[in-house]
Amino acid sequence: MREKSFLQYLQFEKRFSQNTLTAYRKDLEQFLHFIQEELGLASVEEVGHFHIRSWIVHLMTQGRSSRTANRKLSTLKAYFKFLIRRNYLQADPTAKVSAPKAGKRLPGSLRKSELGQLFQQVEFEGGYTGARDRMILELLYATGMRRSEAMALELKDIDFDSLQVRIMGKGSKERLVPASPALADNIKAYLEEREQAFPAADCPKLFLTGKGKPIYPKLMYNIVHKYLSLVTNNSRRGPHALRHSFATHLSENGAGLDAIKALLGHSSLASTQVYTHNSIERLRQIYRDAHPKAGPDKG
């Protein structure tokens, strides 16, 4: 009865979605079944923090991820707080239970060899759309800009004299990113194709659709996903994968965190530090493969 009241509270007062309600109901049913069948408890009034910890351990030993365990713990916290507010319980047994530490999810980046294949071996269509598609891929990887930033880029933002790109980032924060001479030449070649395709276009945006309109998010995503799928099995094959690749490869080649932070337009160094972890994982794998004393069966 209390469980039903809790779910009704979530549905009608908290206005949770049906999917969320289903997840809460399943989590609660699993916990109640565990304390009854495994721990021999008759009701939730008998539950202490050590019982909840036992359940978390049980979940982890079953192969559940720490993220899943944390979500289920959140369900219990909401449930016991509800019971206390309704005067069913006096103390919250979840108060002394710490959430399992979730492993840091490293951003997906492509290998340098995969990007070499993309720009050296993949054939792009002729005409404007092929030139645009290649330019999008090259610019995202060469500058590390976000998809939204690339979409907002205007012709005036490319400074060929000083070889830099002006990017308007999150919170209207402007940053300047250097452009190599090769990138500048490729942008000029792209602009020639753009001019031939749309000689009368007055749109200031750098990238246009096949009809001369400003490019939109789904199209840019589809372009990047299409071509990255030709060279990698990486589960992440959208524009952000190129941003991650930009930062990871800079880190692997010795660039400092402060420099990478500035190039990415991060407001906090903590956001940039994940690329150091990513590089360390790559280095660790290289070490395992190459060093004679790295493995138990070597040396």
The structure tokens listed for 285 are 């794998």
Q: Could you say which of 14, 170, 213, 291 is catalytic? A: 170
Q: Could you say which of 58, 81, 166, 240 is catalytic? A: 240
CATH annotation of 2-85: 1.10.150
Q: Could you say which of 77, 175, 225, 266 is catalytic? A: 266
Topology match between the domains 2-85 and 112-289: no
The yes-or-no answer on residue 240 being catalytic is yes
Dihedral sign for Cα atoms in the order 11, 15, 18, 19: negative
The yes-or-no answer on residue 58 being catalytic is no
The yes-or-no answer on residue 146 being catalytic is yes
pLDDT in tens, 114-153: 999 999 999 999 999 999 999 999 999 999 999 999 999 9
The yes-or-no answer on residue 266 being catalytic is yes
Does the global pTM surpass 0.75?
A: no
The yes-or-no answer on residue 277 being catalytic is no
Q: Could you say which of 134, 146, 147, 261 is catalytic? A: 146
Residue 90 has pLDDT above 50, yes or no: yes
CATH fold of 112-289 reads hpI Integrase; Chain A (1.10.443)
Q: Which whole-number Å values give the CA distances from 225 to 100, 141, 221, in the listed order?
A: 34, 14, 6
Give the domain ranges of the chain. Answer: 2-85, 112-289
pLDDT in tens, 262-280: 999 988 787 787 776 656 5
Q: What share of the chain is helix, strand, coil (3-state, %, to 5)?
A: 60, 5, 35
Residue 43 has pLDDT above 70, yes or no: yes
Is residue 299 very low, low, confident or very high in pLDDT (cuts 50, 70, 90)?
A: very low
Residue 103 has pLDDT above 50, yes or no: yes
Where residue 101 falls (left for φ over 0; alpha for ψ -120 to 50; beta otherwise) is beta
- 207 close to 198: Cβ distance less than 8 angstroms: no
User: How far is CA 45 from its chain centroid?
Assistant: 41
The yes-or-no answer on residue 24 being catalytic is no
pLDDT in tens, 208-254: 999 999 999 999 999 999 999 999 988 889 999 999 999 989 988 88
